[in-house]
Chain A
């Protein structure tokens, strides 16, 4: 972790992991703008107070994002901004859309958005965050078995939704 004290290192690290961290933040918040604020705040919190702990940084940053999203949703200084932007939210894509796969990607994204929060969060952490069930369980305060079960239920639900929509 010594190299992580170097500011140049974090630029490369953030460049590599930023998309998956942003995806996780987006599925916890109401808009891409909120997600960017959460991502910024969470990363700074991790950098200032947690990076010295050692271990795998990505898991700690995911945890920081989750906590920051919860705090931001409650804090008073977010309330005014939500009131200003009420009715203005436009759903921005979560994934890059290749020109030949736009419809398919949009359907997959929509089915992911429609999942219950507890399933969607685990799918994102597992598929794009590449966390183990044990790491997911530590982060969400559930057992690895429960994490795996919710993952399977979420995948099954998505599969049935997509089968009905896509050929």
Chain B
């Protein structure tokens, strides 16, 4: 059975996924090489001024992230399953500090969740063209994990994005 599985895996891996068309690269390139707030050839993307939820969320989010890190950090005395005396706890902490390397949190996940999308209608650009204005709110969620201790940190940050897409007049 394992041989059959390995043969099938080898057979599938020998297939070459098709490349995307050149239009994908042509569409990506200008969006990467221009600053966020300037106009691109196809559309403008800029971040609006901070909305109310962005003004208070960062400090609260930072506090929540620190609290989550403290709560998720594994405690040696709890893992041991018994309570330690103060002297034992101090000596264990000192020994741990000498021998353990600092935690290495590695990024394991990153996603942007679209929370809302609103079509704000047609607007006039400074160059006389008309465009459709789309407002989108995202939650950017990043997760880091230490593979040794399984401690993890999750960072949630709201983001607002406004797109102005030129439209053709009929």
What 1/0 flags go to A112-151 for Cβ under 8 Å of B? 0000000000010001100000010011000000000000
B64 part of interface (Cβ distance < 8 Å)? no
Contact across chains for B18 and A93 when beta carbons are under 8 A apart:
yes
Interface size band for B = 35 or more
Closest chain A CB from B100 CB (angstroms) = 22
In the complex the two chains form, is B109's CB within 8 Å of A155's CB?
A: no
Q: A36-B24, A44-B32, A77-B117 are in contact. Are A96 and B16 (CB under 8 A)?
A: yes
Please classify how large the interface on chain A is, using the bins under 10, 10 to 19, 20 to 34, 35 or more.
35 or more
Q: Which chain A residues border B12 with CB–CB below 8 Å?
A: 108, 123, 127, 158
Rounded to whole Å, the gap between the CB of A80 and the closest CB of chain B is 10
Kindly state whether residue A100 has any CB partner on chain B within 8 Å.
no
Query: Which secondary structure characterizes the binding site on chain B?
Result: mixed
The residues of B that contact A99 with a CB separation of less than 8 Å are: none
Q: Which of chain A's residues have a CB closer than 8 A to the CB of B23?
A: 36
Determine the distance from Cα of A75 to Cα of B145 in the docked complex, in whole angstroms: 31
A76 within 8 A of B: yes
CB-CB contacts below 8 Å: A36-52 with B: 36, 39-40, 43-50
> Which residue of B5, B24, B119, B159 is within 8 Å of A155 (Cβ)?
B5
In the complex, which residues of chain B have a beta carbon less than 8 angstroms from the beta carbon of A64? 110-112
Judged by a CB distance under 8 angstroms, whether B125 is at the interface is no
Asked if B4 lies at the interface with its beta carbon under 8 angstroms from chain A, I say: yes
Q: How far is the CA of A47 from the CA of B143 in the complex (A)?
A: 17
Report chain A residues within 8 Å CB of B28: 14, 40, 43-44
Once the chains bind, are A95 and B15 in contact (CB under 8 Å)? yes
Complex contact A44–B31 (CB within 8 A): yes
CB neighbours of A7 from chain B (8 A): 29, 32-33
> Does chain B have a CB within 8 A of A165?
no
Q: Does B62 contact A (CB under 8 A)?
A: no
- CA–CA, A5 to B132, complex, Å? 31
CA distance A18 to B21 in the complex (A): 10
With A138-B143, A158-B8 known to touch, is A94 a contact of B110 (CB < 8 Å)?
no
Q: How far is the CA of A138 from the CA of B28 in the complex (A)?
A: 27
Contact with A along B114-149 (1 / 0, CB 8 A): 100101000000000000001000001011010000
Residue of A nearest to B134 (CB): A77
- Which chain A residues numbered 70 to 88 have a C-beta less than 8 Å away from chain B? 70-71, 74-77
Across the A-B interface, give the 9 residue pairs with the lowest CB-CB distance, nearest first: A23-B17, A71-B114, A19-B17, A55-B107, A22-B20, A95-B15, A53-B107, A67-B111, A138-B108
List 13 A–B pairs whose Cβ atoms lie within 8 Å, in order of A's numbering: A18-B24, A19-B20, A53-B107, A54-B106, A60-B107, A67-B112, A71-B114, A77-B117, A96-B18, A105-B15, A138-B143, A159-B4, A159-B5
